[in-house]
Amino acid sequence: MAVAWDVLIPVIIYFIVLLVIGVYASRRVKSFRDYIIAVGQVSSFALLGTVIATQWGGVTVMGVPGLAYAGETYRAVYYASAAVPRFLVWALLLAYPIWLAKPWTVTEWFTQRFDRKCGYLAAILNILGFVGLIAGQLVAAARILSVITGIPFEFSLLMGAAIVIIYTVTAGLWGVIYTDIFQFIIIFAGILTLAGVVHATIGLDTLRANLPPTQWSTLGVDGALYFVTLFILWCADLPFNYVIQRISSAKTKRALFMAPIFGAISYLLAAYLGGLLGTAARYTLPKIPSADEAVIRLSVTLLPPTVAGFLCAALLAVTMSSADTYLNAPVALLTNDIVKPLKPTLTDRQLLALSRIVTLALSVIAIIMGLWLRGIITVLVTFLYFTIALIPAFIASVTWRRASPTAAFWSMLIGGVVGAGLRFAAIYGFTPPGLLYGMYIPAFLAIAISSVLLIAISFAKPMQVKSSTLAGGTKPDVYRIARLMPW
């Protein structure tokens, strides 16, 4: 396959701009703290940009349309729309109490609310989950580069990883935030342009008339199970460190609430666009090597080459804005929460250097996982099963004062082992094929076991949280949280 230079040149320009922004952002990194957190320093627009750009990753704009391309449009719609209630949980339940405490990391939050053992376990489960999140975005970037350059998937994955590593290693969290703002703009301009062309050149009526009825099936009971499972998996994303980073970074209460609220609105749009673009690709290009390539091949087919090149840049912006965040967040956990307590004599300069080395090491692990699993949604969803078990303890940390450290620890540990164990058993073929054993049962069992253990052990072995452990000297309870809401 010959290289389409009129498509590739806009992508090269985008890469250059991204690296320039990363170098500029690196000027704000004066210390280890600057590298991993920006407590109370991020404005409303910047926070909105980094939240949406991070969430609109390769899964949203390539994996979700890939589901529609595979023959079931509503599966794509359910996947994206399940994120909407998850954003509302973030905005209306979790954000304000955590913002008051302003923890640097999820480890610090779990340590404040429960104990250090729970904090370390939350960190370990986060790091395992982040491997999948990083790998999923690198796979998405590789699919884009492979289509537009003709370079094999494996080399494309290494190329995309190299760009993300360079500016993330250089600039840390500020590099992530600055590049996310730029990519936030590129993302919406590109995706909305392609959607407009699909409406103008193909139209919904043509798609409905020419694709089989199964394409439009709501899937019945299976559809309901799929939606609920995806909601659980989206909530498994909430206890990730990057969410804590974004909450603590908000400069104002307005920024704190508006970012996830607009995130919810954006995913209503994502549900529509994912179904539309995947279905349009199914109609226009019925035979492509991978469903994950549906959007990129549709853009090259329908758009003028230069415009297609800019859309490719937009899709790369989506994947890289997520990959950089998912790289930076676990680095904070490893260096600040695990290495630093073990080696308190390390200087700020040494911690900063270590953070950059850890960023590189995590990238290598994620590359290996991406080359192994290869599918965007497959690799990302698989590793989320580690953090499903964090959901009950995380929700209880701000809503139930009787939730005890012992209960939180065992609910996270046993639930995590069950959820991830069953998921990997399905990946390796130890359970019957299909979504029931490969997706639904691991998710429901993990959340059920974690919830039951949290409640049962908390009543059997209660331990009240010390009033000094949370900001303002208060214990978390749902009535106080309700009084803190902006209304």
Q: What's the pLDDT tens digit per position in 372-405?
A: 766 667 777 888 899 999 999 999 998 888 899 9
What percent of the chain is predicted at pLDDT more than 70? 80
Q: Residues 447, 450, 452, CA angle at the centre, nearest 5°?
A: 105
Contacts of 468 (CB under 8 A, 6+ apart): none
Q: What is the pLDDT of residue 476?
A: 44
Structure tokens at 134: 């990083």
Distance CA 486, CA 483 (A): 8
Q: Looking at the domain covering 5-375, what would its CATH class be? A: mainly alpha
Number of residues that make up the chain: 487
pLDDT band at 183 (very low <50, low <70, confident <90, very high): low
* Residue closest to 119 by CA, chosen among 343, 356, 378, 340: 340
Q: What is the pLDDT of residue 131?
A: 80
pLDDT band at 486 (very low <50, low <70, confident <90, very high): very low
Q: How far separated are the first and last CA of the chain, in Å rounded?
A: 58
pLDDT band at 8 (very low <50, low <70, confident <90, very high): confident
pLDDT band at 217 (very low <50, low <70, confident <90, very high): very high
Residue with tokens 């929700």: 395
Distances (CA, A) of 166 to 22, 161, 327: 8, 9, 11
Residue 392 CA from chain centroid, whole number: 19
Contacts of 286 (CB under 8 A, 6+ apart): none
Report if pTM > 0.85.
no
What's the mean pLDDT when you consider all of the chain? 81
Name the helix (H) or strand (E) containing 455. Answer: helix 441-460
**pLDDT higher for 234 or 312?**
234
Structure tokens at 178: 């600055």
Range of weakest confidence among 92-106, 320-334, 361-375, 435-449: 320-334
Give the pLDDT confidence of 312-364 residue by residue, as tens digits.
777 776 676 566 667 767 777 888 788 888 888 888 778 777 877 887 787 78
The answer to whether the beta carbons of residues 220 and 211 sit under 8 Å apart is no
User: Helices 116-149 and 5-25, interaxial angle, to 10°?
Assistant: 150
Q: What is the pLDDT of residue 281?
A: 95
- How many C-beta neighbours within 10 Å does residue 85 have? 15
Structure tokens at 378: 């497959």
Structure tokens at 235: 């909530």
Return the exposure string of 115-125: e unless at least 16 CB atoms fall within 10 Å of the residue's CB, then b.
Answer: beebbbbbbbb
**pLDDT higher for 101 or 444?**
444
Distance CA 479, CA 461 (A): 24
Sequence spans of domains, the chain: 5-375
Rg of the chain over Cα atoms, rounded to whole angstroms, equals 22
Q: What is the pLDDT of residue 130?
A: 81
Q: What is the pLDDT of residue 225?
A: 95
> Does pLDDT of 54 surpass 90?
no
pLDDT band at 175 (very low <50, low <70, confident <90, very high): low
